[in-house]
Amino acid sequence: MFVAIRHHLQSAVLPTRAGLVVVCGVLMSWSVSGLAAEDERSVLALSEALARVLQSSPELAVFPYEIRAAEARILQAGVRPNPTVSAEVENVLGSGEASGIGAMETTLALSQVIEMGDKRNLRQDVGGWQRQVAERDYELARLDVLADAASRYLEVAQAQRLLDFAKQAVEWTVSAQAAAKRRFDVGSASRAELGRARTDAMQAALAVSNMEVRLANAKRRLASLWGQAEADYEVVSAELFSLAEIPDFARIEEQLDKAPQLQRFITQSRLQQAQLELAIANGRQDIELGAGFTHMRDTNDVGMVLQFSMPLGINDQNKGNIQAAREELAKLDLEQEATRIRIFAELQNVFAQMKQSRDQVAILRNEILPEARETLELIQKGYALGRFSYLELVQARQQVLAVENDAVLAATDFHQTLITLEALTGQPLTGRRQAFTGVGNAIDASTEYRLPYLNGSKAVEQTR
């Protein structure tokens, strides 16, 4: 994931309704426990990170302009045809009696095109649905940005935890080096063994340096989401091993129709239907009505003129556009069904991965890690007394670090899959629970960000 072993964080809450931001739901309990001297450092809570993203994300900054442009198109769609003023002069500059202007007849008329088929209202309907599609696109973009923020926040939390392990490894190697030096001084260890201990200590220090660089990069990646080149915080308040309860898959399946991607198809379908109706209406011929006055010079009389015109509908001038609109609507139905199948398959895969990650964390931290740590402690003490070889000490130390790393990776996988699940459905799936927030400190799932376990509350490690 974020460690040297693998990377697979996905950008995948954002509201599907105005004023509601559904980001990742219950992924993990964030806590300030386990972070040394946090009261003296700048701590970034997830809720603050999400607020910064919503306020200052460069990716979201363009959408208000797109929505205002859609509103301008609605205004344009409601514009009526302007009336036409016409003037006609007859019997002027001819020959004989029509020479000069003596027999001139003048007609002044005002005409207006009358749109048939309710075209104006249908154009406004199309514009309104185009605005709705723009809003859906904004919601999907907010979903992606907020889920990406949660993933990068998770990346920082993971790097912090791995940095703690790397520092622990330095302490172990320094202690082993000191023990090797004492054994060398009394002649019970070789020069090569002492050299190996010193090399391990230097490599452990180098690993700390590498992890510090990785943590700094992760912090910058998170800060870049709200437009900052450098992080203005030092640590994040997250507890990786506070795992939420897994919801039933039946409940997840119930939320499938509320998936933001499918909701967009519903809006897009209504837009396509409105465009079809407009195309049919555009096939109807408009009429033009006019009225005016004509002045007859020879008799100095004035008469009224009435006008009516309409194109003959011999050929359907919009037949192709109507057929194209029907085909687009049919294609959209197929795309919606294909998207539904894809999302459902992804939900199943992610759900299975989440269960596996949770089981793996429980086994690693409850069964394997205690045994490995106890073994390491025994060998550390025994090595100082000359009962175990340095190779046995190295193997025990590597085993503990490997188990710790695997546990962090599995916990990170769990939180990331829950981010993906809730981003796909657009709904919080784990509800309100007290088990990981402390008795009497449950967080209401209807908060602004719908993040019951992502608000920096005190957490209880479920796997300890």
Q: pLDDT tens, position by position, for the chain (464 residues)?
A: 333 333 333 333 333 333 333 333 333 333 333 444 444 468 898 888 888 998 888 888 888 888 888 889 889 888 888 888 988 877 776 666 656 666 677 889 898 888 888 888 999 999 999 998 988 888 888 888 888 999 999 999 999 999 999 999 999 999 999 999 998 888 888 899 899 999 999 999 999 999 999 999 999 999 999 988 899 999 998 888 888 888 888 888 887 888 888 888 888 899 989 988 888 888 888 888 888 888 777 677 788 888 888 887 777 778 888 899 899 889 999 998 999 999 999 989 998 999 999 999 999 999 999 999 999 999 999 988 888 898 999 999 999 999 999 999 999 999 999 888 888 887 765 543 322 222 233 333 232 333 223 333 333 333 33
Q: State how far Cα 188 lies from the chain centre.
A: 61
Please, are residues 173 and 200 in contact by the beta-carbon 8 Å criterion?
yes
Can you state the angle between helices 390-425 and 319-363, rounded to 10 degrees? 150
How high is the pLDDT of residue 288?
86
Two tokens, residue 331: 């294609």
CA pair distance 47, 430, nearest whole angstrom? 18
DSSP state of 24: S
Q: List the one residue out of 197, 219, 203, 120 whose CA is nearest residue 166.
A: 203
- Cα 375–239–455 angle (5° rounding)? 170
How high is the pLDDT of residue 94?
63
**Bridge-partner residues for 444, per DSSP?**
none
Measure the CA dihedral 43/44/46/51, to 10°: 150
Measure the CA dihedral 361/365/366/367, to 10°: 100
- Torsion 372-374-380-382 (CA) sign: negative
Two tokens, residue 23: 């980001």
Please, are residues 137 and 313 in contact by the beta-carbon 8 Å criterion?
no
How high is the pLDDT of residue 159?
94
Strand locations in 9-104, DSSP E? 43-44, 84-90
Give 164-230 as a DSSP string. HHHHHHHHHHHHHHHHHHHHHHTTSS-HHHHHHHHHHHHHHHHHHHHHHHHHHHHHHHHHHTTT-SS
- State the first-to-last Cα distance of the chain, in angstroms, to the nearest integer: 23
CA pair distance 143, 260, nearest whole angstrom? 9
How high is the pLDDT of residue 163?
94
* Three-state DSSP state, 109: strand
CA pair distance 132, 274, nearest whole angstrom? 13
What is the phi/psi pair of residue 389, to 5°? Answer: -80, 165
Give 59-79 as a DSSP string. TTTTHHHHHHHHHHHHHHHTP
How high is the pLDDT of residue 97?
62
Please, are residues 26 and 452 in contact by the beta-carbon 8 Å criterion?
yes
* Three-state DSSP state, 333: helix
How high is the pLDDT of residue 102?
61
Two tokens, residue 35: 């972070």
CA pair distance 42, 235, nearest whole angstrom? 6
**Residue 391: Cβ-neighbour burial (10 angstroms; 0-12, 13-18, 19+):** exposed
- Torsion 146-148-151-156 (CA) sign: negative
> What distances in angstroms separate CA 165 from CA 196, 381, 398, one per listed residue?
21, 20, 11
CA pair distance 125, 54, nearest whole angstrom? 30
Tokens 């300030």 belong to which residue? Answer: 32
Please, are residues 14 and 142 in contact by the beta-carbon 8 Å criterion?
yes
Please, are residues 3 and 211 in contact by the beta-carbon 8 Å criterion?
no
**Residue 209: Cβ-neighbour burial (10 angstroms; 0-12, 13-18, 19+):** exposed
* Three-state DSSP state, 231: coil
CA pair distance 337, 444, nearest whole angstrom? 35
